[in-house]
Chains A and B, each alone.
Chain A
Amino acid sequence: MKEKISQIVERTMAKIEKLDSAKELNDLKVEVLGKSGELTLILRSLKSVSADERPVVGKIVNDARVELETAFTDKLARLEQIELNERLMKEKIDISIDRKRPIGKVHPLNDIKRKAIDFFVCMGFIVTDSPEIETTYYNFDMLNIPPDHPAREPQDTFFVTDNIILRTQTSAGQIRTMEKIKPPIKMISPGRVFRSDEADATHTPCFHQMEGLVVDKGITMCDLKGTLSSFAKHFFAEDTRIRFRPSHFPFTEPSVEVDVSCVHCGGKGCNVCKGTGWIEILGAGMVNRKVLLGCDIDPDIYTGFAFGVGLDRITAIIHGINDARVPFEGDIRFLKQF
């Protein structure tokens, strides 16, 4: 009997191995393990076995049954897997087709502005807004630009009334901030400014600046250099260097123009930096004592620095935009490039 059982197992296992459809496999299972299957019949015939042998033979039959059932289940699972794979392969589609739902984008200038804001906000700077239509008091007088100063001439400034103008610089925001908040002050003020320039490749009558101001005890010009250097590294590249050149702004003393090592050639000299290796990006300086005094801040206790960056200019430098008018045209082909 033992032999017979092992023969059945051997034969059935061989058949299982060969079969490759679920139906045949099922038929075979019925044939062997079904109600009147071979192995079932043997089990039934156990009655005829002596009581001593019964447990031994019974175990053999049962083991055979478990072995076969496992084999059937495994094979079936394998077959199902194959069938599923075949079906999925039939559902194959052309993945090269696009069905785009466009995700828009903020204007490249605003992207740059956000990046600049991020840096200074992390440094503890607040972000202030200040009117675009401004009084000559804030735009000029308080910034130490007296009425007979050439910067006030109508060929540069858009006038609305005698003393209301379109602001020519975000520096007016410094005054408004210092009138409201007293030191310690760390602020930036990005915004739109206006100059009476005909639009050409390098000018537009509207453009954007970001003003920065720090006023506290013991602020030095080295702090200005350190702050702007970190900004330049964050903004352009880790190995960017900055350089100060003396300049003049009525509201800072000393005043400097700040150059960064050329972002395109790294300082070797190229057509972007006109061979100098440096690109001028901003004006800065130590806040003029007269400006602090005007805002009721004691210049003998507090010092500070201020800077103004041309956002359109650095956007143009970074992206290589060679015509200042294009960003204002709103051509979708331009906007989608960024």
Chain B
Amino acid sequence: MKLPISWLKEYIDLDVGVEDVCNALTNIGFEVENIIEYGNDISGVYVGKIVDISEHPDADKLKICFVNVGSENLTIVTGADNVNIGDLVPVAKDGAVLPNGKVITTSLFRGVMSYGMLCSGSELNISEAFVDGASVDGILILDEELRIGENIVSALKLKDTVLDISITANRPDCHSIVGLAREIATALNAKFIEPPIRFRLYDSDLKMPSVEVKTTECPVYSRSLISEIRIGKSPKWMQRRLFMSDINPINNVVDITNYVLLEIGQPLHAFDYKMIKGGIVVRSASKGETIMALNGEDYTLSQDMTLICDKEKPLAIAGVMGGKFSGITDKTKTVFLESARFNRGNVRNTSLKLGLRSDSSRKFERGVDYYSVEFGRKRALYLFELLSVGKVVCDCPVNMPENKVIETSTDKINGLLGITVPKKNIVAILNTLGMEVEVDGKKLSVKIPSYREDIDNFTDLAEEVIRFYGYDKMKETFLPTSSVTVGGLSDKQKKIEEIKDLLCSFGAYEIMTYSFTDENVFDKLALPATDKRRSAIKIRNPISEDLSVMKTELVSGMLSVISTNLTRKNDNFRLFELAKVYEAEFPMTELPDEKDVLCVGLVGNKEDFYEIKNIFTGVMDHFKSNYEIVRSGEPYLHPGMSADLRLDGKTIASFGKLHPSVSKNFGIKKSDVYVGYLRCENIVDEKQKVVKYKPLPKFPPVERDLALVVNEDVTVGNLIGAIRSADALIGDVELFDIYRGEQIEKGYKSIALKIKLVPTERTLIDAEIAVIIEKVLYKVKCEFDAKVRE
């Protein structure tokens, strides 16, 4: 909302400075986003009168003007040909600064000294709204009434300050000069002056068209007739204000409607009375109905849109734009003025669907109240009379709904705020805001003006009170009345954080990526057509295709981050992400499952399969989960260097070396990339197991080394598993070497293991140890045909 300070001052009984206004606005909840200064970019330019003109002796196109600038006469050379003796013109004297930054100095023009410059409208950056002729190509010829020698800025009333203010959604009434003036007056303890609205009603034979409202989208429709219209330009003061509020002046009738829109916040529409056949009907559009709007475009309407029609045809799209053929023209004799309220949802919907917005529709979308319908129309009629645009011959006011009354008390208001605002302050603040307050002891009965539809109950009044009383007067208390509560993270939340800390201890850094991705990542990951991860939730209105589906896996995001890092020449790093994946049933009638998934990525020549395996098994071991490791079939992993981790037969993790062709899909040129994921739900939802202490062994353990020759197919894991189950006294079994080569038959390998025997009852003697080792050898012989290496 643009607020010219000069306009504001008209309605506040106080001479306020710009800074005071800005501070007041901030304190009461309106943010000043920008301060626009008019006229302060011109200096040293004065009103001058051309007293004589002579030809330049050496240049056909130049003229020598003798200009009276009050205190002196100056010789000025100009190239313009629109100046005549007697004209008043803007004269930039030596040292003058123009809006484009140009400094005017005395200088020679083909041998003639020029002591300044005559300016055009564009050189002064003045709009036609400020001065007639400002857009003329040539020197700006000024009104002959102006005082010679006066500074051009004051002579043309160019100086003003405009505040650009952001208005919160609950205050549509403040999208108006009077709305803001009322607030600022209250904040500055000044009197708010209501704009005058009295006008004379003339007799006439003209018949006011009837109005029939056939839709609930128009709760109130008021109208007037103004006859003997004389279309012309509106006065400069009005044009200036429209211009500073980003509205182009058009003609006096249209300008008045726009002026009232800005000043009172009421969109008005002026129809040419002659074009209304029979009477006004406000109704829903029929399907496919068309109208040509003021902008010359044809619009096809639908049934949820509201139309203003006469008995024959649509005249306007309600609240959005008038029709081409019912608007004001130079020939208009009588104006039918509409001041109505259309529901904001309806106007927004229409405007959105048609892709057609106007100053009117924007205001209706924010909200229009009963007060402005009535007050705005009257204000317009006052202006018609003031500017002698026409005679008001008919005015149909509407019945205003009863004002809302809120019964409350100072205790209730102060109870919510936590401080005691004195009753007299409460009453004074509410009064200045236009609320009538009846006081009965502590009880307050507050009548709410109809322009404050946002006020609903005492909490709204409490806000009004503290807004103006000052939030800086509020104390800081620390919940003295509240009960003691036990706070904390849930077990699940704690475990999620624990997993993150674990990953850090593995040297991985946490990344964060968007929750949405490109649908093509599933192809890049080579997921088969039937893979469940392909059924991702689609966003209806994504920003772009690459952010259009919700993630069902995190690996692709990790690979993109790895790719980015490698492109930037970052190498040797470990990353992890713990985020949600979204799994839905389609068609979606319920909210999807949001599952916590851990994703890990390792890059660098020190990494291998066993490193990434260690991370995943490390997490499982940390939570004392039993699991099983099997070969993985994940399509994006190297088939020989990848594994699935299973819990109760269900795969909850897959990890391994990145498949070279998938690598290529993600633009990764490096081969040492390892990725994997773990679905955390199985760990974090599990109830924490209480560990029962096992007494530490009292007797010294015994270690024996064994080298077993087995077929290549035999896995170390299976071999160790078998050994551990061979006897109850066998504790840890540790791999320390795998050997292939000389002395070992091709297709076989030698696995060297350290076996720890942990006696429970007494120290083992050699014979007992020998028996246990025999059992081990027998078992591995039977299961794997393993032989002791000679």
Co-assembled chains A and B: yes
Q: Check B591 against A104 for contact (C-beta < 8 Å).
A: no
Residue B515 lies at the interface, judged by CB distance under 8 Å to chain A: yes
Residue A170 lies at the interface, judged by CB distance under 8 Å to chain B: no
Residue B365 lies at the interface, judged by CB distance under 8 Å to chain A: yes
Which A residues are in CB contact (< 8 Å) with B488? 121, 126-127
Q: Check A246 against B29 for contact (C-beta < 8 Å).
A: yes
A56 to B500, CA, bound (A): 81
Q: Which of B490-536 contact A (CB under 8 A)?
A: 490, 493, 497, 500-501, 503-516
A151 to B170, CA, bound (A): 12
Residue A77 lies at the interface, judged by CB distance under 8 Å to chain B: no
CB-nearest residue of chain A to B490: A127
Which B residues are in CB contact (< 8 Å) with A246? 27-29, 463, 466-467, 471
Residue A332 lies at the interface, judged by CB distance under 8 Å to chain B: yes
Which A residues are in CB contact (< 8 Å) with B467? 246, 254
Q: Which of A285-323 contact B (CB under 8 A)?
A: 286, 288-289, 303
A223 to B186, CA, bound (A): 27
A135 to B574, CA, bound (A): 37
Q: Check B418 against A221 for contact (C-beta < 8 Å).
A: yes
Contacting chain A: which of B103-111, B263-271, B331-339, B479-487? B479-487
Which interface residue of B471, B542, B582 has the most chain A CB atoms within 10 A?
A: B471
Residue A206 lies at the interface, judged by CB distance under 8 Å to chain B: yes
Q: Check B539 against A289 for contact (C-beta < 8 Å).
A: no
Residue A236 lies at the interface, judged by CB distance under 8 Å to chain B: no
Which B residues are in CB contact (< 8 Å) with A129? 490, 493
Residue B236 lies at the interface, judged by CB distance under 8 Å to chain A: no
Minimum CB–CB distance for B404 against chain A, Å: 16
Q: A159 contacts which of B29, B541, B564 (Cβ < 8 Å)?
A: B541
Minimum CB–CB distance for B666 against chain A, Å: 13
A93 to B258, CA, bound (A): 86
Q: Check A124 against B485 for contact (C-beta < 8 Å).
A: yes
Q: Check B459 against A336 for contact (C-beta < 8 Å).
A: no
Q: Which of B155-201 contact A (CB under 8 A)?
A: 168-171
Residue A97 lies at the interface, judged by CB distance under 8 Å to chain B: no
Q: Check B512 against A109 for contact (C-beta < 8 Å).
A: yes
Given known contacts A104-B503, A104-B574, A332-B570, A164 and B591 CB-to-CB distance under 8 angstroms: yes
Q: Check A331 against B483 for contact (C-beta < 8 Å).
A: no
Q: A219 contacts which of B479, B490, B575 (Cβ < 8 Å)?
A: B479
Q: Check A196 against B471 for contact (C-beta < 8 Å).
A: no
Q: Check B487 against A217 for contact (C-beta < 8 Å).
A: no
Residue A154 lies at the interface, judged by CB distance under 8 Å to chain B: yes
Which A residues are in CB contact (< 8 Å) with B565? 330-332
Q: A150 contacts which of B365, B514, B561 (Cβ < 8 Å)?
A: B365
Q: Check B543 against A196 for contact (C-beta < 8 Å).
A: yes
Which A residues are in CB contact (< 8 Å) with B594? 131-133
Minimum CB–CB distance for A138 against chain B, Å: 9
Residue B276 lies at the interface, judged by CB distance under 8 Å to chain A: no
Q: A117 contacts which of B417, B481, B486, B489 (Cβ < 8 Å)?
A: B489
Q: Check A222 against B503 for contact (C-beta < 8 Å).
A: no
Q: Check A104 against B507 for contact (C-beta < 8 Å).
A: yes
What 0/1 pattern do residues 143 to 174 of A give for CB contact below 8 A with B? 00001111100100011110010100000000
What 0/1 pattern do residues 448 to 487 of B give for CB contact below 8 A with A? 0000000001011011001100011011111111111111
Q: Check B479 against A104 for contact (C-beta < 8 Å).
A: no
Residue B765 lies at the interface, judged by CB distance under 8 Å to chain A: no
Given known contacts A104-B576, A110-B500, A330-B512, A227 and B478 CB-to-CB distance under 8 angstroms: yes
Q: Check A114 against B497 for contact (C-beta < 8 Å).
A: yes
Q: Check B537 against A133 for contact (C-beta < 8 Å).
A: yes
Q: Check A134 against B481 for contact (C-beta < 8 Å).
A: no
Residue A329 lies at the interface, judged by CB distance under 8 Å to chain B: yes
A125 to B489, CA, bound (A): 9
Q: Check B485 against A184 for contact (C-beta < 8 Å).
A: yes
Q: Check B482 against A214 for contact (C-beta < 8 Å).
A: yes
Which B residues are in CB contact (< 8 Å) with A117? 489
Tally of contact residues, B, Cβ under 8 A: 86
Which B residues are in CB contact (< 8 Å) with A245? 26-27, 29, 471
Q: Check B471 against A184 for contact (C-beta < 8 Å).
A: no
A329 to B509, CA, bound (A): 13
Q: B515 contacts which of A194, A196, A303, A332 (Cβ < 8 Å)?
A: A194
Given known contacts A125-B487, A245-B27, A206 and B570 CB-to-CB distance under 8 angstroms: no
Q: Check B509 against A105 for contact (C-beta < 8 Å).
A: yes
Q: Check B483 against A184 for contact (C-beta < 8 Å).
A: yes
Q: B505 contacts which of A104, A184, A222, A333 (Cβ < 8 Å)?
A: A104
With contacts defined as CB atoms under 8 Å apart, how many contacts are there between chain A and chain B in the complex? 248
Given known contacts A127-B489, A132-B515, A245-B26, A161 and B509 CB-to-CB distance under 8 angstroms: no
Q: Check B478 against A124 for contact (C-beta < 8 Å).
A: no
CB-nearest residue of chain A to B476: A226
What 0/1 pattern do residues 223 to 249 of A give for CB contact below 8 A with B? 101110110000000000001111110
Given known contacts A121-B488, A246-B467, A335 and B509 CB-to-CB distance under 8 angstroms: yes
Residue A270 lies at the interface, judged by CB distance under 8 Å to chain B: no
Which A residues are in CB contact (< 8 Å) with B28? 246
Q: Check A220 against B540 for contact (C-beta < 8 Å).
A: no
Q: Check A286 against B512 for contact (C-beta < 8 Å).
A: no
Q: Check A220 against B477 for contact (C-beta < 8 Å).
A: yes
Which A residues are in CB contact (< 8 Å) with B462? 253-254
A288 to B481, CA, bound (A): 20
Q: Check B29 against A247 for contact (C-beta < 8 Å).
A: yes
Which A residues are in CB contact (< 8 Å) with B512? 107, 109-110, 327-328, 330
Q: Check B345 against A133 for contact (C-beta < 8 Å).
A: no
A97 to B28, CA, bound (A): 62
Residue B770 lies at the interface, judged by CB distance under 8 Å to chain A: no
CB-nearest residue of chain A to B504: A104
A245 to B170, CA, bound (A): 15
Residue B348 lies at the interface, judged by CB distance under 8 Å to chain A: yes
Q: Check B477 against A226 for contact (C-beta < 8 Å).
A: yes
CB-nearest residue of chain A to B603: A332
Which A residues are in CB contact (< 8 Å) with B540? 154, 158-161
A210 to B329, CA, bound (A): 57
Which A residues are in CB contact (< 8 Å) with B510? 104-107, 110, 335
Q: Check A149 against B487 for contact (C-beta < 8 Å).
A: no
Which B residues are in CB contact (< 8 Å) with A328? 512-514
Q: A222 contacts which of B170, B171, B417, B561 (Cβ < 8 Å)?
A: B417
Residue B439 lies at the interface, judged by CB distance under 8 Å to chain A: no
A300 to B192, CA, bound (A): 35
Q: B475 contacts which of A121, A222, A303 (Cβ < 8 Å)?
A: A222
Given known contacts A124-B485, A126-B485, A254-B466, A214 and B479 CB-to-CB distance under 8 angstroms: yes
Given known contacts A149-B169, A160-B539, A220 and B417 CB-to-CB distance under 8 angstroms: yes
A250 to B459, CA, bound (A): 12
Q: A160 contacts which of B171, B482, B537 (Cβ < 8 Å)?
A: B537
Which B residues are in CB contact (< 8 Å) with A102? 507, 574
CB-nearest residue of chain A to B540: A159
Q: Check A154 against B541 for contact (C-beta < 8 Å).
A: yes
Minimum CB–CB distance for A236 against chain B, Å: 16
A132 to B582, CA, bound (A): 9
Which B residues are in CB contact (< 8 Å) with A127? 487-490, 493
Which A residues are in CB contact (< 8 Å) with B460? 253
Q: Check B459 against A254 for contact (C-beta < 8 Å).
A: yes
Residue A262 lies at the interface, judged by CB distance under 8 Å to chain B: no
Give 24 CB contacts A-B under 8 Å: A104-B574, A107-B510, A126-B485, A133-B537, A133-B582, A134-B591, A150-B348, A150-B365, A166-B550, A184-B482, A219-B482, A221-B416, A222-B418, A225-B474, A226-B475, A227-B478, A246-B29, A248-B170, A254-B466, A254-B467, A329-B561, A329-B564, A332-B573, A333-B570
A-B pairs with lowest CB-CB distance, top 7: A220-B418, A246-B29, A148-B345, A222-B418, A254-B463, A218-B481, A248-B168
| 4 other A-B residue contacts (CB within 8 Å) besides A127-B493, A192-B580, A331-B564 | A134-B591, A166-B550, A246-B467, A330-B512
Interface set of B (CB-CB < 8 Å, partner A): 26-29, 168-171, 343-345, 348, 365, 415-419, 457, 459-460, 462-463, 466-467, 471-472, 474-490, 493, 497, 500-501, 503-516, 537-543, 547, 550, 561, 564-565, 568, 570, 573-576, 580, 582, 588, 591-592, 594
